[in-house]
Structure 1
Amino acid sequence: MSETPELSPTDWVREQTEKVLEAGTTDAVELMGMKIVLFTTTGAKSGKKRYTPLMRVEENGKYAMVASRGGAPKHPLWYFNVKANPQVDVQDGDTVKTMTARELPMGAERDHWWELAVAAYPPYAEYQEKTTRVIPVFVLE
């Protein structure tokens, strides 16, 4: 298993991650004027650590990971990593902590976190309209 996380092959994701790593804080990056959180997941098949920058959705020390993939028909690859390995490192600002992710089933708790996610990043609502799949939401505690 690799201990040094791998950067994304997707240019814009890699560039955002590199900015965070160089600065030592997620405060170095904003997307559309909104804050991000840098998650480090473990590959479901490879066991390799991988960085995943996502929009910051936080409440009372808990975080959400929204598997939107921009409203694409399939889940992002990191979704399968988190399902297989729910221990995730979460960097918010310059603080890093290990948390446990759980996927939220349909219901009041997911509805609450979805509302928080859309408030933090309104395009999530558009992404849901674009796809026939229900966009998964994980909460990390």
Structure 2
Amino acid sequence: MQSQKEYNQKVIAEFHANGGKVADFGSTPLILLTTIGAKSGQERITPLAYTIDNDRFILIASDKGSPVHPGWYHNILAQPLVTVETSSERFQARAVVTEEPERSRLFTQMAEQMPAFAEYQERTSRKIPVIALVRLGTTC
């Protein structure tokens, strides 16, 4: 069985080879989020689905409904400056954990476009965080 790390490496390679398209994700838009490991201090690249809200990229820290937050979420709490790679550009951003009522609005917006996120929330008792990526040089 393939580990999550091995799967992510496959997705990253396919993302780079195919201009941001990854077969397993169909038409779901993906970014590559580069964070600094909270414990290791090493760069970590994570492929993530996103939506756009104004000029911000919106992420949901669902980890498929796991009872714990994903590693990349802990990384952004420790170091909110991240690198975002889309199919056409790479830029630095600040990760901002949204608060209510914005969190619920953004979660609903993304779950309407990608219903799996609503299912992930049903699988866990934790309130899944929603993160806004603000391009450096812009304001919230």
TM-score, shorter chain, exceeding 0.5: yes
Specify the SS of the correspondent of 2:41: coil
Are the equivalent residues in 1 in contact too, given 2:103–2:129 (CA < 8 A)? no
The aligned counterpart of 1:29 is 22
Indicate the percent of aligned positions where both proteins have the same amino acid.
33
The aligned counterpart of 1:118 is 111
Q: Report the residue type matching 1:63 in the other structure.
A: F
What is the TM-score when the length of structure 2 is the normalising length? 0.85
The aligned counterpart of 1:5 is none
Specify the SS of the correspondent of 2:35: strand
Give the Cα–Cα distance (whole angstroms) in 2 for the partners of residues 112 and 9 of structure 1. Answer: 30
Root mean square deviation of aligned Cα: 1.7
- 1:83 to 2:77 alignment: yes
The aligned counterpart of 1:38 is 32
Specify the SS of the correspondent of 1:127: helix
Give the Cα–Cα distance (whole angstroms) in 1 for the partners of residues 129 and 56 of structure 2. Answer: 16
The aligned counterpart of 2:58 is 64
Are the equivalent residues in 2 in contact too, given 1:86–1:101 (CA < 8 A)? yes
- How far does residue 9 in structure 1 lie from its aligned partner after superposition? 5.3
Q: Which runs of no fewer than 5 residues in structure 1 stay unpaired?
A: 1-7
Give the Cα–Cα distance (whole angstroms) in 1 for the partners of residues 80 and 113 of structure 2. Answer: 23
What is the TM-score when the length of structure 1 is the normalising length? 0.85
Specify the SS of the correspondent of 1:78: helix
Give the Cα–Cα distance (whole angstroms) in 2 for the partners of residues 95 and 120 of structure 1. Answer: 23
Q: Which moved more, 1:64-73 or 1:14-23?
A: 14-23
1:17 maps to which of 12, 16, 21: 12
The aligned counterpart of 2:137 is none
Give the aligned length. 131
- 1:49 to 2:40 alignment: no
Specify the SS of the correspondent of 2:128: coil
The CA deviation string for residues 75-132 of structure 1, in whole angstroms up to 9 with x for no partner, is 1111110100101111122211111011112x22111211222123210000000100
